[in-house]
Homo-oligomer: A and B are copies of this chain.
Amino acid sequence: MAAQIQYAGLDAALDAWQAALGADAVISDPETLTARSRATFATANTTHAILRPANTRQVQRCVEIARHFQIPVYPVSTGRNWGYGSMALPGLGGVVLLLDRMDRILDYDEELGTVTVEPGVTQRQLQEFLAANGDRYWLDVTGSSPHCSVLGNSIERGFGHTPYADHFAHMSGLQVVTGDGTLLDTGFGRFENARAASAYKWGVGPYLDGLFSQSGLGVVTAARLWLMPKPEAFTYFQVSIRDDGELEPLIDALRELRMAGHIRSAVHVANPFKVYSAMESYPWEQMNGETPLDPDIVRAHLDRLGIGAWSFSGGLYGSRDQIRVAKKAIRRRLRASLDVCQMRFISAERLAMLERFKGPLGRLTRLPLDQMLAFMRALFGIKQGVPTDAMLPSTYWRKRAPAPPDPDPDRDGCGLFWCAPVAPLKGADARAMVAIANEVFARHGFEPMLSMTVISERALDNVIALHYDRDIPGEDARAMACYEELLERLMDAGYYPYRLGIQSMEALRARSGAAWNHTLGRIRQALDPDGILAPGRYPP
């Protein structure tokens, strides 16, 4: 592991930061720093301090001091970027600017469904705020923890489940501190009296928000977000097709349904490993403690549940009439070209009925209805903007013990890489990505957990999870080798990730081409002449 850079001015800088923020807001004890440098894969322990500013003015002061002492600062919202590096640094030294104390919800407009949030606002906090304030809007949440930052995910261009799944598309202006200490408001927000700052995304003149998304070009201290109007009705659907060979027509059918507006939200298409792992923990006994998991065990389990080779779920949002029309069109289109072995549309009423009769139904069908309903409830909630803890235990997939009541994948040695390549929304491209993932995982001894998300009318994002146990000696290196080969193979085939972990930043730079690296390098120099803001994050 590479050595941490030592900065001559570090002690003086720490003094200055303490003077600016208060002693409690500057964390520099080695134990905490080591703990907070851990991620879900091997990272270098290179963080010199964690600064926790309370407001934008303090953020500016932190950046000024960093400039003065030439010490890099890495902004982080709540630090829960699991699978992508958590809050570890991509570089060999610097301090983390942890923005979790800036957790105010500002400027809620109930008529327009817009809200301004600081980086520390969590999914649960905002969802509960909306529920308590009129219950007119839903948040689009991710499957990650309720304690994750809304703003952080949005500027990292994460996505969720509803018609507002593309988080960056549903932002309307940022407040940013750039590397030279300037406090900038973008879009119409640059005019103090602008009425439409939250209502209109682009402003006038160049649109600058994109610069501060997936970058180290600024510290985003507030963002204006659009919220989904709560629909009159909601229906969750889950469908499964029997044959693996029908993946291509399935993806093509989903494209047609999205293009025709029958489906308007994200759809998640899961392979058998993904479905199995969502319902069961690793069957250590059946596997005699061995890995990787035998696909026949998975197959046998899913056969009992009537689940086929590919399963997908999504939500329908709208008036009762709109949903009725959509259901009819979806049923017809899927049945026309696919061997559908399961198709369920579940409204709130139907879910309540299932809950009520799960006893007799379970005995009748011999299905583990309790477990199935618990999972369905979580998905049902997520697709209505209610964040859940239910997905986090899946990061313990390869651990011998089940997840504790307070899961923390970084602390507990849960190994996890996300690799999320984007493809055109075409059957042939989906197949090509699946083939690469299956081949690479099999060779390295891991199970490919695939959740291919239809994120728009045109794009498919194959969210691939690589789970392992960091406590097994050598496993960090084996998993990293698998991940790196996977990413390279996918990029060789033209499938680039929508987002990257700290371990892959140099791989990105190497492929970005001279024109991109030159232009982005010039912009970085212009906004951050000392190069102290998050060097190495989405370089140059």
Contacts and interface: CB of A to CB of B under 8 A. Distances in A.
Contact of A195 (B213, B317, B423): B423
A196 B422 contact: yes
Interface stretch (A34-42, A268-276, A373-381, A514-522): A514-522
Interface stretch (A16-24, A87-95, A253-261, A306-314): A253-261
Nearest to A229: B259
Interface in A65-114: 109, 111-114
A426 interface: yes
Contacts of A262: 319
A200 B459 contact: yes
29 contacts: A111-B424, A113-B457, A169-B169, A183-B515, A191-B511, A195-B423, A195-B429, A196-B494, A198-B458, A200-B498, A202-B498, A204-B214, A204-B497, A204-B500, A205-B215, A206-B211, A206-B523, A207-B214, A208-B211, A209-B210, A210-B211, A211-B211, A260-B318, A260-B319, A262-B319, A321-B325, A322-B325, A519-B527, A526-B526
A489 interface: no
A332 to B, nearest CB: 11
A184 interface: yes
Given A196-B459, A526-B523, A210 B208 contact: yes
Interface string A131-162: 00000000000000000000000000100000
A208 B519 contact: yes
A333 to B, nearest CB: 11
A520 B213 contact: no
Interface in A335-381: none
Contact of A232 (B172, B200, B260): B260
A125 interface: no
A518 B185 CA distance: 12
A508 interface: yes
Interface in A244-266: 252, 255, 259-262, 264
A473 interface: no
Interface residues of A, number: 96
A491 interface: yes
Contacts of A458: 112-114, 172, 198-200, 226
A182 B229 contact: no
Given A111-B255, A207-B210, A261-B264, 17 more contacts: A112-B426, A113-B259, A168-B202, A180-B522, A194-B496, A195-B494, A196-B459, A199-B424, A204-B496, A204-B500, A205-B520, A206-B210, A206-B212, A229-B260, A229-B457, A261-B317, A261-B322
A459 B523 contact: no
A193 interface: yes
B496 A191 contact: yes
Given A112-B458, A202-B498, A497-B204, A523 B512 contact: no
B425 A204 contact: no
B207 A213 contact: yes
Interface string A510-540: 0111011011101101110000000000100
Contact of A188 (B325, B422, B493): B422
Nearest to A137: B259
Contact of A328 (B109, B226, B321): B321
A205 B519 contact: no
Given A199-B423, A215-B205, A217-B206, A516 B459 contact: no
Contacts of A538: 204-206
A514 to B, nearest CB: 9
Nearest to A186: B516
Nearest to A495: B195
A520 B329 contact: no
A3 to B, nearest CB: 28
Nearest to A216: B206
Contacts of A518: 182
A341 to B, nearest CB: 27
Contacts of A178: 519
